[in-house]
Amino acid sequence: MTLSWRYLLLVVTTLCAFGATPAARSADAYPKEIRIGIQKGDGLVALRFSGNLEKAFAAHHVAVKWIEFVYGAPLVEAINSGDVDVGTVGSTPPILAQSGSAPSVVYAAYSPRLQNSYGIIVAKNSSIRTVRDLPGKKIAFAKGSQGHLFVLKALTDAGIDPASTRFVYLAYSDARAAFERGDVDAWAVPDPRYADTQLSTGARTILRIGELSVPQYGFYISTRTFASAYPAALRLLFDQLDQQTKYSVAHPAQTVDLLSTNTGVPRAVWEKALPRLEWGATYPIDDQVIKAQQDAADLAFRNKVIPRAVDVRQAVVDIM
């Protein structure tokens, strides 16, 4: 045996003895910077303004960059183009991504079941009382957002043909104005905008997202390349988020102060929204969550929201 082979054997033996194989070293790699996409009411908001994530990543010499988006579809595009590494969205954007618009996007973790943080609302003096009153009405939501499939599922559960209603695709600011003018009859909207509209206009909720027949979830998405190269960075992010969520729940007044000071959203709005926000991140992704998301994907295909059927499981990665 030559000296070079003896040296190689010694190195491999030493690495194995300490549990540090080349694969394990790769799994513990960290990027120089992690770019995080964020929306105004998602579970990352409190973590962003706490500064705790920057402290956690500093130990690994990783810079943290936050990039804000109005809703999920542009965030997905930014991840697919390589401008963002990880972000959180509702159920619809990753389905659109997998069907063709952004095939490199993958599911890395999920948030708790959506229950009360998303609602279909109508004006306080509206004659609409339930989803069954929506045929012939105009319903607003951002195209490709969580609200898109929320409305489709709500109509399906009620036995209503979506074609009997009129979908009005509007960004949140435009939808708010249209709702207040009475140009649309109903609006699918998430917190904190949901709470803000309730407080400002007296809007009534005809359906909360947790009342759908199949659970709906939010997801943390990345690219397959980033998730494969830096799973430890994603785990650190999600673990820090979980800790921040527990702290936020235990200290609501302090969290409301933090959020109102840093987001510009009034304190009263956060006081109403915070108790019903479903924050946190869990990984790996549970089979029941995948099943629920597959139901959403099948719904999207049946209603021609996506051009082809997709197998959600193929876009799920395990970062453990």
Q: Please write the tens of the pLDDT for every residue from 4-15.
A: 444 334 433 443
Q: Does 17 map to a domain?
A: no
Total domains in the fold of the chain: 2
Q: Are residue 106 and residue 223 in the same domain, yes or no?
A: yes
10 within a domain of the structure (yes/no): no
Same domain, 105 and 223: yes
Concatenating the DSSP letter of every residue in 232-288 gives HHHHHHHHHHHHHHHHHHH-HHHHHHHHHHHH---HHHHHHHGGG-----BSSPPHH
Q: Which of 194, 211, 228 is the last residue of a domain?
A: 211
Q: Output the pTM of the full model.
A: 0.88
109 and 222 housed in the same domain: yes
The CATH number for 205's domain is 3.40.190.10
In a domain, 24, yes or no: no
Domain that holds residue 172: 118-211
**What digits encode the pLDDT tens for the residues 170-229?**
999 999 999 999 999 999 999 999 999 999 999 999 999 999 999 999 999 999 999 999
Structural domain contains residue 150: yes
Domain end position, chosen among 154, 189, 211: 211
Map tokens 């609501």 to a residue. Answer: 252
Q: Examine residue 8 and state whether it is found in any structural domain, yes or no.
A: no
Provide the β-strand partners of residue 67: 37
Domain co-membership, 103 together with 228: yes
The reply to whether 280 falls in a domain is yes
Judge whether 220 lies within some domain. yes
Q: Are residues 220 and 297 in the same domain?
A: yes
Region 86-110: mean pLDDT is 92
Say if residue 51 is in the same domain as residue 100. Answer: yes
Q: Which one of 149, 183, 211 terminates a domain?
A: 211
221 and 308 both lie in a single domain: yes
- Whether 273 and 207 share a structural domain: no
Residue 298 pLDDT greater than 70, yes or no: yes
Question: Crossing angle, helix 231-250 and helix 252-263, to 10 degrees?
Answer: 120
Look at residues 196, 176, 213, 50 and name the one whose alpha carbon lies nearest to residue 117.
Answer: 196
Region 39-51: mean pLDDT is 89
| Same domain (yes/no): 207, 232 | no
